[in-house]
Copies of this chain bind each other. A is one copy, B any other.
């Protein structure tokens, strides 16, 4: 991890390499700035759709609230002089023409759907921030070389559905799955105005998009804790889930001596503690979690004969996830031996990590510095549409601080000034990407 001083040195060195500098655009150092009051007022308006009495929103994909929020966003797009349309996958895509006909679009945006009992910032900051960037460019009369495309991906929280459709990774089986709204993905896409029969029309291949960049709240406490303005996202972590089944022998808790037990709960407890120890035994930002556990038969007076628990490991390095899991299995074998139990593992989810493009990272970092903001590099511990876009084009993400690192909850909060900072860095980054020789 470079220090902030190192960042600055690296950035200055990079300016030449990236071939953009003062004067080429109406000032990169003196870039136009967004209308922060307007952006925060739009966020406040958006928070009405699906608002919960206790704060936050439940605007799950394919609900009426989701559709109302999307209609509100489409109105903002029109006001920003964009040309919004709903693609066959149900994503909202709004173009602004560029000056060079041969150039591919620079795409930026996020999502506006939420988890149940979610917050007002996850997704919406990036979506409305992107529209605000487009509106600012329109008002300042800035024309870019590349076409710009503001995108609001549908159903990010239910498995980054819209972006997977864009890269051709939404299967027929996926379309039959039921989303949190109760609708299948297939029915949900039609509900939003998409057209499942034409899903192939949305496909973007490598080379179709010049670059993708997404503004988002951090959903972690690093920036807030270190009092930094901007996170330059190095990549989206890989996420692996296993169901771990521990089998012992259920027996009478009163009449079975401690020495004669094969207690699956005791084995699960030692497993949970060991996972924590293995994950924290080396430097790095890897995380490991036991979030779900069920014990059978699950009554106070019977020694559990069987426990099933989840194991999740996340890291930016897929090989590290594999290595940590191997270490956990080896340690679990010792626990099994000591407790007279057996462990078995079934992988239930496995999304590989996606690295952002170093050139986009550098553009974000430089944009932050030029805007007078502090920054650091960090991984995204959560999944995002950007991880799929990274498969087809140079991609990056811009993070802003989350209060107490809380997300997916009514208490999720990012300060108005941090939101404005993020939108200004997005604006500068879009202009920097537009000016870059490699886009």
Q: A222 interface residue, CB < 8 Å from B?
A: yes
Q: A330 interface residue, CB < 8 Å from B?
A: no
> Given that A269-B268, A312-B253, A405-B251 are known contacts, is A276 also in contact with B258, CB under 8 Å in the complex?
yes
User: Which listed residue, B268, B291, B302, touches A301 by the CB 8 Å rule?
Assistant: B291
Please give me the 8 A-B residue pairs with the lowest Cβ-Cβ distance, nearest first.
A220-B255, A254-B381, A269-B272, A255-B381, A300-B310, A253-B289, A269-B269, A219-B255
Q: A203 interface residue, CB < 8 Å from B?
A: no
> Given that A287-B257, A291-B303 are known contacts, is A272 also in contact with B266, CB under 8 Å in the complex?
yes
User: Which listed residue, B239, B255, B268, B295, touches A292 by the CB 8 Å rule?
Assistant: B295
Instruction: List 11 additional A-B contacts (Cβ < 8 Å) besides A255-B381, A273-B273, A291-B302.
Output: A221-B257, A241-B301, A250-B409, A253-B289, A254-B381, A258-B279, A265-B272, A269-B269, A270-B273, A292-B299, A300-B310
* B405:A255 contact, CB within 8 angstroms: yes
Tell me the A residues contacting B by CB distance below 8 Å: 218-222, 237, 239, 241, 250-260, 263, 265-266, 268-273, 276, 279-280, 285, 287-295, 297-304, 310-312, 314, 348-349, 380-383, 405-409
> Given that A251-B406, A298-B292, A406-B251 are known contacts, is A258 also in contact with B270, CB under 8 Å in the complex?
no
Least CB distance from A234 to B in Å reads 14
Least CB distance from A127 to B in Å reads 19
Which chain B residue shows the least CB distance to A408? B252
